[in-house]
Amino acid sequence: MDLGVGSTPRGRHKIFLGFAAGVGKTCEMLSEANRRRERGQEVVIGYLETHGRAGTEALIGELPCVPRRQQAYKGSTFEEMDTEAILARPPQCVLVDELAHTNVPGSPRAKRWQDVEVLLAAGINVLSTLNVQHLESLNDTVLEITGVRVRETVPDHVLRDADEVQMIDITPRALVNRLERGDIYKPEKVAQARQNWFREGNLNALREIALREIAQEVDDELETYRRERRIAQPWATHDRIMVCLSPTQSSLRILRRGWRIARRLKGELVAVYVEARPPRPQEQAILKADFAVADQLQIPVVTLQGSDVAAELVRYAREKSVTQVVLGHSDRSHWQELLRGSIVNRLTRELRSIDLLIMANSTQATQEAL
């Protein structure tokens, strides 16, 4: 997008995301780079780490490489990506491997992802690689799964702000086979890797995390598309079930029914309570019991504030693309509904594109059974 007269359009950033070394991120990045070069784009390698893998090195082909910058530190010399040399060139597209890398002290920027931000701001397109365990928000989760504290992290917004994220997937068993063939590490390191990071339980968990991240990215992109085009009707790409909690009558049956529906449909489930006023002691007891069951069933509870309960429920359902709403019959009398309106009627009228399941309360259900 052009930022105005005299400004430089920001470059596009594509991230190849994986869940472990050896899944094929760098190879896929090189393959795309070669395809772009064949189409006439000027593509250069800013930084590439082949780890001595013959298959990776073979994919470099005729891609030119910007010489690395020499950085002295504590009597030794290290090589880093020369961001300033890339800016001086500048190419249409640059490859930047290992996005989470920490630059040697004394470098212009502390992190490689910060170098990438500079390149993007200069209008250069970037292809980069990243493993999901390097996301800052997942640091504690990865430690719990693997027992390893990942020291190099990338802020989550780097992934969120990317123009395109491609998951490079492989089954954990196939990845272990690559490891044991010596395709990832040298033979003397294979046994240690199998005992640590490359345990199949670790790999399965990390793969699931990566897949969930990609699903969230797709979901965010879909929501942006619908918002930009003012599409109010939800698209049922997957089911989202909303259970409506009431402070005046128990919602335990509704919570359990919603949980069973979500489990059967493999959909997302949320319980929503609208606080129109501070609850009275009896209502507090009802809500406490409802919240306890929601917690036991691992159902997230969202509390909204607003004097118009129906309006808040409608707004939330539309914003979150809810596909099903589960709620109980109104406990208002006929005269109360005439004077103040019925929440059920409002939802039925205003959420015509969403399925509503209106459950009988326990007393009514018992009488009907008799």
Tell me the mean pLDDT in the region 30-34: 97
Residue 14 CA to residue 215 CA, distance in Å, equals 16
Q: Helices (DSSP H) in 61-199: which residue ranges?
A: 83-88, 112-121, 139-146, 156-161, 172-180, 187-195
Tell me the mean pLDDT in the region 122-144: 92
> What pLDDT does 224 receive?
64
> What pLDDT does 195 receive?
82
**Among 207, 127, 202, 219, CA closest to 167:** 207
Going by pLDDT thresholds of 50, 70 and 90, the confidence category of residue 4 is very low
CATH code of the domain occupying 240-369? 3.40.50.620
Give the tokens for residue 337. 């509904």
Strands 164-167 and 43-47: unpaired
In this model, does residue 365 exceed pLDDT 60?
no
Question: Which long-range contacts (C-beta less than 8 Å, at least 24 apart) are formed by 31-37?
Answer: 31/59, 32/127, 33/63, 33/93, 33/95, 33/127, 34/59, 34/61, 34/63, 36/93, 37/62, 37/63
Tell me the mean pLDDT in the region 197-202: 87
**Residue 77 phi, psi (nearest 5):** -115, 130
Going by pLDDT thresholds of 50, 70 and 90, the confidence category of residue 343 is confident
| Domain 13-228 classification at class level | alpha beta
Counts of helices then strands in the chain (DSSP H, E): 15, 12
Task: Say whether pTM exceeds 0.95.
Answer: no
In this model, does residue 277 exceed pLDDT 70?
yes
Tell me the mean pLDDT in the region 36-61: 93
Going by pLDDT thresholds of 50, 70 and 90, the confidence category of residue 366 is very low
Q: In what order do the strands lie in the sheet with 355-359?
A: 301-305, 268-275, 240-245, 324-328, 355-359
Q: What average pLDDT does the chain have?
A: 86
Secondary structure (3-state) at 8: coil
Going by pLDDT thresholds of 50, 70 and 90, the confidence category of residue 339 is very low
Q: Do 13-228 and 240-369 come out as alike in CATH topology?
A: yes
Domain residue spans of the chain: 13-228, 240-369
Greatest alpha-carbon pair distance for the chain in Å reads 88
Going by pLDDT thresholds of 50, 70 and 90, the confidence category of residue 51 is confident
Model pLDDT for residues 65-74, shown as the tens digit of each residue: 999 999 999 9
Place of tokens 């300033």: 84
> What pLDDT does 147 receive?
86
Beta-carbon contacts of residue 194 (< 8 Å; ≥ 6 apart): 176, 179, 180
Q: Which region holds residue 2: left if phi is over 0, alpha if psi is between -120 and 50, else beta?
A: beta
Going by pLDDT thresholds of 50, 70 and 90, the confidence category of residue 333 is very low
**Lowest-pLDDT range of 183-187, 210-214, 332-336:** 332-336
- DSSP-assigned states of every residue in 129-140: EEEGGGBGGGHH
Q: Helices (DSSP H) in 229-325: which residue ranges?
A: 252-265, 281-296, 309-319
Judge contact between 31 and 60, C-beta under 8 A. Answer: no
**Residue 134 phi, psi (nearest 5):** -90, -5
